[in-house]
Amino acid sequence: MFDTIFSIRPFFFSLREIKENVSLDIKIPLSWNINPDVNGVDKDVSIKVQDENERNRLISIIGLATKTGYDAVFSSAKQIITYNQEIEEKNRLFNEKVEELKKFFLEAPIEKLKDISFTNEKHGVRNRKSTREAKVGNEEGSGSNESE
């Protein structure tokens, strides 16, 4: 049980059995999404908001007090945590890349800017004139250590 609880720290708050149900309580940031349709929560559990303040929300993830029920509530908690941490990381990376792009646009010649386009297919920046990826932020002297 220690390893299971440890896997959701620092969000773990409590674990209770109430009648024939198990209730796993986790404290998460208020901004996090707890919609089961969005973040992959197990269909056999329910989520109830117990308390919230300006920063945090205490939620109960409730399932049957069986081995399957325990697995489902812990799996659902991990899904909520993983999903929201990924969203936070994507937002952080987005903001970082926007700043890099702003710098690139300020420093690059207009001819080079006209040749770039953004594609969804390869999840990157591509040069319109060829199939090579444009080296945005990787030009010599740009200060970037990233390699392609």
What pLDDT, on a 0 to 100 scale, did the predictor assign at position 53? Answer: 95
The whole-number pLDDT of residue 124 equals 56
Q: Report d(CA 85, CA 89) in Å as an integer.
A: 6
- Report whether 15 contacts 77 (CB < 8 A): no
The pLDDT of residue 10 is 96
Quote the pLDDT of residue 126: 55
Q: Is residue 120 part of a domain?
A: no
- pLDDT score of 37: 81
DSSP line for 16-63: EEETTEEEEEEEEETTS---HHHHT--TT-EEEEEEE-SSEEEEEEEE
Whether 115 is in a domain gets the answer no
Per-residue pLDDT of the chain (148 residues; tens, 9 = 90+): 899 999 999 999 999 999 999 999 999 999 999 988 877 788 889 999 999 999 999 999 999 999 999 999 999 999 999 999 999 999 999 999 999 999 988 998 898 888 887 766 655 555 555 444 444 444 444 444 444 3
Amino acid at the residue 32: W
Tally of structural domains, the chain: 1
SS3 of the chain: helix, strand, coil, percent, to 5: 35, 30, 35
**Is 57 part of a structural domain of the chain?**
yes
**Does residue 142 form part of some domain?**
no
According to DSSP, residue 64 is labeled E
What domain range is 48 assigned to?
Answer: 2-95
CATH number, domain containing residue 10: 3.30.1370
